[in-house]
Chains A and B, each alone.
Chain A
Amino acid sequence: MRGVAACSAAALLAALSGPLAAAEGTGRAVEIALPRAPAAGERVWLRLTVGPLGRGAALQVTGVDGTLLGSLAPVGGAVSAQGPPTYVVPLPADAVVGGRIAVRLVVREPGGATRAPTPDEVPGIEALVVPAD
């Protein structure tokens, strides 16, 4: 995408084991710094790399207050021969506080059970500042 600024610290694996992450309640809390403040005409998105989740499971991205921001799953639980694909989740303006994004990642299993994703299930997450209109 043209004109996209991406957070340079992109690996969720590092984030999950670092001071910015905390497993509290259901799912996994992740906090990411924006690469820079969005200007007028720009929006903030998350780009997540999502590994195999299992048939019927979906990765849900919520705000810290539990507001659902997006639900991610390949059609049919397809597995890519080229490695895990990326997904984009648009964020509301109020998701950015003090130049940082705080979200929670939850894997919803078939039948409704929820749990935190493993590093293999979400090997990467980036914050993007995207020109959009």
Chain B
Amino acid sequence: MTTLMQALEPSRREFVGGAAAAIGLAAAGGAARAAAAQPKYRRVNVNSDAAKSHLKSYQKAIGKMLALPASDARNWYRNALVHTVDCPHGNWWFLVWHRGYIGWFEQICRELSEDPNFALPYWDWTENVDGSTPFVSSVPDRMYDGVLTPTDPSYIGTYDAFKATVGGVVDHLIWWNRTMVDGNLVPDAPYGQLLARGIRFPDDLWFDIADDPRGLLFFERAHARGLSRQEPQLDPGTTKNVSLPTLLDALSPRDFIGFGSPKTYFHSGLTGFGILEGLPHNSVHNCVGGAYNGNGGFMQANLSPVDPLFFLHHANIDRIWDVWTRKQLARGYPILPDGYPSSPGGAVRPGSDYDRWSRELFLFYADAQGHPVTKVKAGDYASIGDFDYDYEPGSGEEVVPGTQVAAGAAVPPTERYAGSVAAGTISAATTASAAIAVPEALLTRAGPGGATLVAEVTVAFPPLGHGGAIAVLVNAPAGGSPPSADSPHFAGVLSMFGHHTAHGPVTFTVPLTSTLLMLRSATLLSATAPLTVSLAPIQPGGPAAGATGHAHPGAQAELLAVTVTAL
């Protein structure tokens, strides 16, 4: 049985040194890079002359990866399965996870191709290659040569052959090892991650790949790519989504979450899509994957890295992130989620968006030798960092630098009374709280025959950590143990019911009226001061540590929002 320390030791050792370097580069960004030495590698446009040698090396590497035994993590299909089990989509880790994934893949290709200068080309789908009017975007013709298309005979032709080739290895990967400490599953280990995503055992994975009636992930060789060399054009909807006006809009947001995809609280939470992910990214996948013409193809689902075009598509997504980052730096705008270090080596603001974002675990990458990587957190990939590449300029580059414009507009007021979360973390040592400015007239009306008030409290539990209970308190004194249930401050208890596969933010509605009446009669309610709603962990038997139940020691829940509503 692996212990917690054994499970985490390699990553912890690396991260101490790696984090500072990564964060420093993130804070300095492209501006510092431009002033420093040129990066060692350059990713070029796949249609350029310079791409020819890279594509030749790419073919060589793919051939070797296809031929490697499935026991080698660099095997072509083993590498693709990392995406199947671990890729975040529809949330704020989309960009950073794929940067790490293709960055390590690039190093594998460099190693196996024996080309020390190899760098992934990018597919600039926005480029009007032939100057046609109206604009037409097509799969690059070069990507139909040899093993650059998954329809090549070197690829596995059928699902049965695929299962026979890799199944015996995948079914016994270290992923499935149950890392336990004191009888509790460690969620920050691969199997804990898989469980939180609903992948309980290998058959769940095989179900997704070949037996899910909603759609399969594996496509036989004849249908491995949806667009043919004879008809490589993207459909009109996808063409619109990759067009320059759409790309310029995608590059226009002033903050990371507006540019990337929305903040979420779970690695695989499909929460929403920014323009870049939702329009060009998704539709290129579906179109090349034959979802729109019925031809089928790997690119349409999560075994998409079987198609070598995947890596050129995502190199372009990563290029566009780099363009946006340089635009932001030129305009003095933020480049990462709120709270990132303002100077190289600076401290991360605890509890900030960056703190949460950067700590997310990426446990499934393999390095150039096929070993698990030692940089296992999102923050390790916040900048290009040790991958040490830049991009040949492509579409969208014109937004760097731009001219300064007026500051953003204010968000209009809502009809309800939203609180301000002053402290979000709920743990053994910390109480979360929010202040809500409720009009005096409404507080006065609260009670029988008057207004009924409730608090809508939104909490994110850590994956697999729903077993505890949380007290909701109103205007409770700071510090000390949480008041008991008969206290006038005690409004209710939050706890989860159900299976651990439930995850993501949950909103509870807590009645406030009787609590407000008790506070008022005890002269503990000011009509003019904001209400303070606080959340403190409790356990059976009384107030104590353990807000996160079965989660590993140190796990935290997070208070996200409190809104007071008059019913």
Which of these, B89, B238, B331, B410, contacts A75 with CB under 8 Å?
B89
Q: Is the CB of A133 within 8 A of B402?
A: yes
Q: Is B279 an interface residue (CB 8 A)?
A: yes
Q: Which listed segment binds B: A15-23, A24-32, A64-72, A96-104?
A: A64-72
Interface residues of A (CB under 8 A from B): 1-6, 8, 35-36, 39-43, 45, 55-56, 58, 60, 68-82, 85-90, 92, 108, 110-111, 129-133
Besides A76-B285, A110-B293, A131-B408, 15 other A-B contacts (C-beta < 8 A) = A1-B255, A36-B409, A43-B249, A68-B240, A71-B238, A75-B286, A75-B302, A76-B291, A76-B302, A82-B266, A86-B273, A87-B273, A132-B252, A133-B331, A133-B405
Q: Is the CB of B292 within 8 A of A41?
A: no
Q: Is the CB of B236 within 8 A of A90?
A: no
Q: Is B411 an interface residue (CB 8 A)?
A: yes
Q: How many A-B residue pairs have CB under 8 A?
A: 175
Contact residues, B72-108 vs A (CB, 8 A): 89-90
Chain B residue contacts of A90, Cβ below 8 A: 245-246, 249-250, 252, 275
Given known A81-B270, A86-B272, contact A131–B409 (CB-CB < 8 A):
yes
In the assembly, what is the distance between CA of A45 and CA of B171, in Å? 46
Q: Is the CB of B412 within 8 A of A85?
A: no
Chain A residue contacts of B504, Cβ below 8 A: 81-82
Which of these, B215, B254, B275, contacts A76 with CB under 8 Å?
B215
In the assembly, what is the distance between CA of A42 and CA of B417, in Å? 27
Q: Write the chain A residue with the least CB distance to B286.
A: A73
Q: Write the chain A residue with the least CB distance to B216.
A: A76
Subset of 15 A-B contacts with CB under 8 Å: A3-B409, A4-B409, A35-B412, A39-B409, A42-B408, A55-B215, A56-B292, A58-B283, A58-B286, A71-B236, A75-B285, A80-B90, A90-B252, A130-B252, A131-B407
Given known A1-B257, A2-B255, A90-B275, contact A71–B237 (CB-CB < 8 A):
yes
Q: Is the CB of B294 within 8 A of A87?
A: no
Which of these, B238, B274, B292, contacts A110 with CB under 8 Å?
B292
Given known A3-B408, A8-B412, A70-B279, contact A92–B253 (CB-CB < 8 A):
no
Which of these, A1, A6, A82, A108, contacts B253 with CB under 8 Å?
A1
Chain A residue contacts of B269, Cβ below 8 A: 80, 82
Chain B residue contacts of A75, Cβ below 8 A: 89, 281-282, 285-286, 289, 300-302, 304
Chain A residue contacts of B412, Cβ below 8 A: 5-6, 8, 35-36
In the assembly, what is the distance between CA of A90 and CA of B274, in Å? 10
Q: Is the CB of A108 within 8 A of B237?
A: yes
Which of these, A4, A43, A56, contacts B294 with CB under 8 Å?
A56
Q: Write the chain B residue with the least CB distance to A69.
A: B240
Given known A56-B294, A87-B279, A133-B254, contact A3–B410 (CB-CB < 8 A):
yes
In the assembly, what is the distance between CA of A40 and CA of B300, in Å? 39
Per-residue contact bits, chain B 248-264, to A (CB 8 Å; 1 contact, 0 not): 01101111011000101
